[in-house]
Chains A and B, each alone.
Chain A
């Protein structure tokens, strides 16, 4: 899918330029685009190094675990089919914490482990259980406290207040997540009624 989108944008742009008389601009855009991408990634280094460094301290001091204890009662209600002390619960919580604190690379393996445990709970069937759908929905709505890459982009283009979007982003993703969980519940009860 992504291959078609990528080629589509480039090819369509080039063909469009033939008729629009903008070939000169397109020619410049190729090199400017590449250069801008590298500049952005250099900007990412500063924020990612700083944030992941700080988060390493939070991991070692047990602060992340403290947070996951705080969220445990809420998460328990979201996954009524998962027993209290099942390993799935631990993985789900660690995955959520990693996502919240912008540790995307750490979140994915934890999420896959959580899915494995949820599949075992579901009798190893190859269809998605209710808990699996809920877990997926939480991941796609993504509550993030510090949107690191967005901050880096805003800094790169000289925003007067790069961090002003932090709290609005938090509210928007919170609304998205809560809304999605309500829809998730609605679909579940509709399925149950239907069959």
Chain B
């Protein structure tokens, strides 16, 4: 597994290097373009504040009251039988419905169990490898006025399910339990 985790480390710097090289070769004003694009990043991060404050407060209340633990313990026997950590179940359930709620739960899991724990890594991979199916469905089909969705929702949710299973397998293979 040494080589595979090396790929993770090399991927980002190599990609950045390639982009800078190609930009210079094509005579793009690289630094000015970087600053221009970066401004967008501030806007996105700041616009996330109210969403994340709302979600993290709700999640924190739910965890601090002991309610989250209560539900996780109910689900634990079944989840352990499948081999999926019960703590990550809320994330798997909410991921297709709300992007910011999932982001809130991911950061809650990472802060509670640590980023380098099995739960922290699984939450990271799961959050990164799936998307908010209901949101995409509503926005894309809503914008162009599609009323009969066909199998889209069913297949979208199955895709999420597959990505969740794949995340569990990949994290176990890469990092062990």
Residues of A within 8 A of B (CB): 1-2, 5-6, 9-10, 12-14, 16-17, 20, 22, 25-26, 28-30, 32-34, 36-38, 40-42, 44-45, 47-63, 105, 108, 111-112, 115-116, 119, 126-128, 132-133, 135-137, 139-142, 144-147, 149-150, 153-154, 156-173, 175-177, 179-180, 183-184, 187, 191
Identify 27 residue pairs between A and B in the complex whose beta-carbon atoms are under 8 Å apart, listed by A's number: A14-B65, A25-B64, A36-B56, A36-B111, A40-B52, A49-B45, A52-B37, A53-B35, A54-B34, A54-B37, A57-B37, A60-B28, A61-B22, A62-B26, A126-B147, A132-B150, A136-B136, A157-B115, A160-B116, A163-B8, A163-B9, A168-B121, A169-B128, A169-B167, A175-B170, A176-B129, A180-B162
**Cα distance, A121 to B120, chains bound together (Å):** 44
Asked if A61 meets B19 with Cβ closer than 8 Å, knowing A53-B37, A177-B159, the reply is yes
Q: Closest residue to B164 on the A side, CB-wise?
A: A176
Chain A hits for B136, CB < 8 A: 111, 136, 139-140
Interface assignment of B160: CB less than 8 Å from any CB of chain A: yes
Interface assignment of B73: CB less than 8 Å from any CB of chain A: no
Whether A127 contacts B60 by the Cβ 8 Å rule is no
B57 touches which one: A2, A22, A34, A127 (CB < 8 A)?
A34
Residues of B within 8 A of A (CB): 4-5, 7-9, 11-12, 15-16, 18-20, 22-23, 25-26, 28, 30, 33-42, 44-46, 48-49, 52-68, 70, 94, 96-98, 101, 103-104, 106-107, 110-111, 114-116, 120-121, 124-134, 136-137, 139-141, 143-152, 154-156, 158-160, 162-163, 166-167, 170-171, 174-175
Q: Shortest CB–CB separation between residue B147 and chain A, in angstroms? A: 5
Whether B107 contacts A9 by the Cβ 8 Å rule is no
**Cα distance, A158 to B20, chains bound together (Å):** 28
Whether A127 contacts B170 by the Cβ 8 Å rule is no
Asked if A16 meets B66 with Cβ closer than 8 Å, knowing A5-B98, A175-B162, the reply is yes
**Cα distance, A29 to B26, chains bound together (Å):** 52
Chain B hits for A187, CB < 8 A: 151, 154-155
Q: Shortest CB–CB separation between residue A127 and chain B, in angstroms? A: 4
Whether A56 contacts B37 by the Cβ 8 Å rule is yes
Whether B143 contacts A112 by the Cβ 8 Å rule is yes
**Cα distance, A169 to B163, chains bound together (Å):** 10
B130 touches which one: A10, A126, A176, A184 (CB < 8 A)?
A176
Whether B125 contacts A61 by the Cβ 8 Å rule is no
Whether B67 contacts A141 by the Cβ 8 Å rule is no
Whether B57 contacts A37 by the Cβ 8 Å rule is yes
Chain A hits for B4, CB < 8 A: 167
